[in-house]
Amino acid sequence: MESTMDQLVARLNTSPDLASVEVSSTEGAVFPGASPVLGTPGAFLGGVAIASATVAAFEAGRG
């Protein structure tokens, strides 16, 4: 017995309406001309630095 997903894929693959849709082959190009985003790693490292400073201040206050 075929699963619902298999039936859906089979139906989509044989659809004449979808067969007529032109698909461009710009593989991997979501935003042409975009550069890598370094904001997320920077924000993560900033959070690590703040957490480290908080722990260091707490430990210095205990001593």
* Residue 12 pLDDT exceeds 90: no
Q: Where are the beta strands (DSSP E) in the chain?
A: none
Residue 20 tokens read as 């007529």
pLDDT of residue 31: 64
In the numeric block, which tokens belong to residue 55? 């722990």
What is the token pair recorded at 17?
């309406």
Supply the pLDDT for residue 26: 60
- Mean residue pLDDT of the chain comes to 79
- Decide which of 2 and 47 is more confident: 47
More confident residue, 2 or 20: 20
Is the model's pLDDT at 32 over the cut of 80?
A: no
Q: Write out the two tokens for 14.
A: 């044989």
